[in-house]
């Protein structure tokens, strides 16, 4: 997920001016443990088909009581096994359909039970039954839903040999069957990098792209776009360049579609492709997609804005040139609105993008000023939710570390200092440390202007001194040391240290050079 490990990512960027870029990338790609729930607005990894087809009665609500349900299900599965293994096509269709219905229930579909009943072998076999499209369809649907489960479920489907069968089905003249195959393959690709690459090895990309025609119905295209996005997804490793090159033109084309759901998934695809080292970002920028992405930032639908913004955020975390390309495409005029977006998740991502732009050279920082991003940034520092504030704090620290003295002064005048001082109360050690870093940067600028005393007063006036002093009791060593260093350097007197030594007696020092120097050379 692109937002993971942000701080490390930024830290490396922030600190790496002049350091090896490869090291920085290692950190960016580093895996990260998450405690949170996977986020709701993220692109969906796997989906189950639970749409009900017109001619069917909905499942009766009295399945609710647990014991009864288990009992009923095991009975139902026994019946399915019997039917599916029957030689009679009618029975097979019946069994397959019953399985599909069970697997399409809203709640607690018996994925595991179906697998354990050994039904997958037969279902995969049925995929090849070109003579019986209904059976093919029901089997494809059932397998799609099994593959939508956990990794273990997906693995069962793959190990039963479903991949080549599904790829073959893509070419089916029956649109609903082909669509179901697209869907199933999407679930398999979404499982992770190894199945994704396995699919690519089996030639899934040309087979999919062949179905991307102007007359394809929107519903079909939605599935197709989603599956393509899953083929772009996941790192460690990334999908190989040749595969990306194959898919990109079609994805760019989809990015101009009018359907919001297609746009959303196409944007997610772009966001996956840009979530990587600079070479990856370059491939995407070269397609000329940036102006369109910026345009999409202005859409109303959250489902479009979120991945578009994520993509932009990824791009501006790249090299200075790549960031400049995004700026040239007009991203800075789109960001202020997003920073004031009603959804805090959008504010956060926008602040993240700003923080990365602020990590650039002072010319880019100047553009932040010119395009009026400081006022909304300070608003976010004051009123954003915590995650947004954290990103905004990074923006301030990056800005103050790379900005010129005048730029830093300007930021302070916009109210950023007071806002970050308030955030010293944040319950997150890293954020506090990053703020202390920013304060230190601001003091360095004040030193150059000879206005340290004035800054000291300002910090004290808004209650910042109290907070910094309080942090000298912080449990985290780095935090308390940083606070102490600030206090010692700017709010009190100081000590010093020694290098060489001079001989001494009780009454005085012994004057005279100890050794005859060989040769002086300065």
Partner 1 sequence: MTSTSFHLPIMELNDGNLQTLTEYLQKTLSPDPAVRRPAEKFLESVEGNQNYPILLLTLLEKSQDEVIRVCAAVTFKNYIKRNWRIVEDEPNKISDPDRTAIKANIVNLMLTSPEQIQKQLSDAISILGREDFPQKWPDLLTEMVNRFQSGDFHIINGVLRTAHSLFKRYRHEFKSNELWSEIKLVLDTFAQPLTELFKATIDLCQTHATDVNALKVLFSSLTLISKLFYSLNFQDLPEFFEDNMETWMTHFHNLLTLDNKLLQTEDEEEAGLLELLKSQICDNAALYAQKYDEEFQPYLPRFVTAIWNLLVTTGQEVKYDLLVSNAIQFLASVCERPHYKHLFEDQNVLTSICEKVIVPNMEFRSADEEAFEDNAEEYIIRDLEGSDIDTRRRAACDLVRGLCKFFEGPVTGIFSGYVSSMLTEYAKNPGVNWKHKDAAIYLVTSLASKAQTQKHGITQANELVNLCEFFVNHILVDLKSPSVNEFPVLKADAIKYVMTFRSQLPKEQLLEAVPLLVAHLQAESIVQHTYAAHALERLFTMRGANNATLITPAEMAPFTEQLLNNLFKALAIPGSSENEYMMKAIMRSFSLLQEAIVPYIPTLIGQLTHKLLLVSKNPSKPHFNHYLFESLCLSIRITCKANRDTVGSFEEALFPVFTEILQNDVQEFVPYVFQVMSLLLEIHTSSIPSSYMALFPHLLQPVLWERTGNIPPLVRLLQAYLEKGATTIASTAADKIPGLLGVFQKLIASKANDHQGFYLLNSIVEHMPPDSITQYRKQIFILLFQRLQSSKTTKFVKSFMVFINLYCVKYGAIALQEIFDDIQPKMFGMVVEKIIIPEVQKVSGQVEKKICAVGITKILTECPAMMDTEYTKLWTPLLQALIGLFELPEDDSIPDDEHFIDIEDTPGYQTAFSQLAFAGKKEHDPIGDAVNNPKILLAQSLHKLSTACPGRVPSMLSTSLPAEALQFLQGYLQAATVQLV
Footprint on this chain of partner 1 (rule: CB under 8 A): 7, 30-37, 344, 383, 385-386, 425-430, 433, 447-448, 457, 460-462, 466, 470, 474-476, 478-479, 489, 494-502, 504-513, 517, 519-522
Instruction: For Cα atoms 112, 103, 177, give the angle at the middle one, nearest 5 degrees.
Output: 120
CA-CA distances (angstroms) from residue 274 to 17, 247, 277, 371? Answer: 21, 14, 8, 25
| CB contact at 8 A, 251 and 233 | no
Taking the complex as a whole, how short is the minimal distance between the CB of residue 511 and partner 1, in angstroms? 4
Taking the complex as a whole, how short is the minimal distance between the CB of residue 337 and partner 1, in angstroms? 18
Taking the complex as a whole, how short is the minimal distance between the CB of residue 200 and partner 1, in angstroms? 29
**Neighbour tally for 141: CB within 10 Å:** 27
Please identify, using beta-carbon distances, which residue of 51 and 520 lies nearer to partner 1: 520
Please identify, using beta-carbon distances, which residue of 54 and 512 lies nearer to partner 1: 512
Taking the complex as a whole, how short is the minimal distance between the CB of residue 467 and partner 1, in angstroms? 10
* Cα–Cα nearest to 179, from 150, 142, 199, 208: 208
Please identify, using beta-carbon distances, which residue of 370 and 517 lies nearer to partner 1: 517
| CB contact at 8 A, 82 and 117 | no
Please identify, using beta-carbon distances, which residue of 7 and 94 lies nearer to partner 1: 7
Please identify, using beta-carbon distances, which residue of 131 and 506 lies nearer to partner 1: 506
| CB contact at 8 A, 424 and 468 | yes
Taking the complex as a whole, how short is the minimal distance between the CB of residue 124 and partner 1, in angstroms? 34
Please identify, using beta-carbon distances, which residue of 85 and 502 lies nearer to partner 1: 502
CA-CA distances (angstroms) from residue 295 to 222, 282, 305? Answer: 21, 20, 10
Taking the complex as a whole, how short is the minimal distance between the CB of residue 287 and partner 1, in angstroms? 34
Ramachandran class of 494: left when φ > 0, alpha when ψ lies in -120 to 50, beta otherwise: beta
| CB contact at 8 A, 163 and 122 | no
Coil, strand, or helix at residue 504?
Answer: strand
Please identify, using beta-carbon distances, which residue of 269 and 433 lies nearer to partner 1: 433
HSE toward the beta carbon, residue 164, CA cutoff 13 A: 5
* Cα–Cα nearest to 334, from 359, 317, 361, 357: 357
| CB contact at 8 A, 175 and 187 | no
Please identify, using beta-carbon distances, which residue of 293 and 432 lies nearer to partner 1: 432
Phi, psi of 504 (to 5 degrees): -145, 145
Please identify, using beta-carbon distances, which residue of 282 and 447 lies nearer to partner 1: 447
Please identify, using beta-carbon distances, which residue of 120 and 479 lies nearer to partner 1: 479
Q: Which residues, at least 6 apart from 50, have a Cβ–Cβ distance to it below 8 Å?
A: 104, 105, 106, 145
Alpha-carbon span 328 to 158, nearest angstrom: 45
| CB contact at 8 A, 443 and 452 | yes
| CB contact at 8 A, 377 and 411 | no
Phi, psi of 509 (to 5 degrees): -85, 150
Taking the complex as a whole, how short is the minimal distance between the CB of residue 295 and partner 1, in angstroms? 28
Please identify, using beta-carbon distances, which residue of 35 and 61 lies nearer to partner 1: 35
Alpha-carbon span 73 to 217, nearest angstrom: 36
DSSP 224-239: HHHHHHHHH---SSPP
Taking the complex as a whole, how short is the minimal distance between the CB of residue 491 and partner 1, in angstroms? 11
Taking the complex as a whole, how short is the minimal distance between the CB of residue 331 and partner 1, in angstroms? 26
Taking the complex as a whole, how short is the minimal distance between the CB of residue 495 and partner 1, in angstroms? 6
Taking the complex as a whole, how short is the minimal distance between the CB of residue 350 and partner 1, in angstroms? 16
Please identify, using beta-carbon distances, which residue of 213 and 505 lies nearer to partner 1: 505
Taking the complex as a whole, how short is the minimal distance between the CB of residue 32 and partner 1, in angstroms? 6
Please give the distance of CA 258 from its chain centroid, rounded to a whole number.
Answer: 25
DSSP character for 59?
A: P
């Amino acid at each position: 997920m692109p937002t993971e490990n942000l701080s490390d990512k930024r830290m490396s960027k922030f600190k790496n001016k002049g350091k090896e870029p490869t090291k920085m990338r290692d950190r960016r790609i580093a895996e990260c443990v998450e405690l949170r729930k996977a986020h709701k607005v993220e692109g969906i990894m796997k989906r189950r088909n639970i749409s009900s087809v017109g001619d069917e009665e909905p499942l009766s609500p009295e399945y609710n009581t647990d014991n009864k349900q288990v009992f009923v299900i095991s009975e139902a599965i026994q019946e399915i096994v019997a039917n599916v293994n029957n030689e009679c096509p009618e029975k097979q269709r019946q069994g397959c359909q019953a399985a599909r219905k069970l697997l399409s229930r809203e709640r607690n579909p018996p994925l595991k039970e179906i697998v354990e009943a050994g039904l997958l072998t037969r279902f995969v076999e049925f995929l090849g039954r070109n003579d019986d499209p209904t059976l093919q369809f029901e089997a494809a649907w059932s397998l799609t839903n099994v593959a939508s489960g956990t990794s273990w479920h997906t693995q069962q489907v793959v190990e039963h040999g479903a991949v080549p069968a599904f790829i073959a089905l893509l070419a089916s003249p029956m649109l609903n069957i082909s669509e179901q195959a697209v869907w199933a393959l999407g679930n398999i690709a979404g499982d992770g990098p190894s199945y994704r690459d396995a699919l690519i090895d089996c030639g899934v990309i040309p087979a999919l792209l062949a179905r991307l025609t102007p007359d394809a119905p929107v519903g079909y295209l939605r599935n197709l776009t989603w599956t393509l996005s899953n083929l772009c997804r996941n790192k460690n490793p990334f999908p190989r360049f040749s595969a990306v090159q194959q898919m990109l033109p079609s994805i760019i084309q989809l990015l101009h579609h009018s359907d919001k759901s297609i746009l959303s998934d196409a944007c997610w695809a772009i966001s996956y492709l840009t979530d990587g080292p600079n070479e990856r970002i370059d491939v995407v920028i070269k397609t000329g997609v940036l102006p369109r992405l910026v345009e999409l930032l202005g859409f109303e639908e959250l489902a479009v804005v979120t991945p578009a913004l994520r993509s932009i955020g990824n791009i501006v975390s790249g090299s200075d040139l790549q960031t400049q390309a995004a700026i040239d495409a007009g991203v800075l005029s789109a960001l202020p609105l997003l920073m004031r977006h009603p959804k805090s998740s959008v504010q956060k991502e926008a602040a993240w993008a700003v923080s990365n732009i602020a990590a650039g050279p002072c010319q880019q920082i100047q553009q932040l000023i010119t395009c009026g991003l400081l006022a909304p940034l300070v608003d976010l520092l004051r009123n954003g939710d915590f995650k947004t504030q954290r990103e905004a704090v990074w923006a301030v620290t990056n800005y103050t570390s790379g900005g010129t003295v005048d730029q830093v002064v300007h930021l302070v005048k916009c109210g950023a200092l007071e806002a970050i001082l308030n955030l010293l109360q944040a319950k997150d050690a890293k954020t506090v440390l990053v703020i202390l870093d920013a304060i230190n940067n601001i003091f360095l600028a004040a030193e150059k202007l000879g206005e340290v005393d004035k800054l000291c007063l300002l910090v004290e006036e808004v209650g910042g001194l109290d907070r910094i002093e309080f942090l000298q009791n912080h449990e985290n060593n780095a935090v308390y040391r940083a606070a102490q260093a600030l206090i010692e350097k700017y709010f009190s007197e100081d000590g010093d240290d020694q290098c060489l030594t001079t001989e001494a007696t009780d009454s005085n020092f012994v004057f005279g050079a100890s050794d005859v120097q060989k040769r002086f050379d300065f």
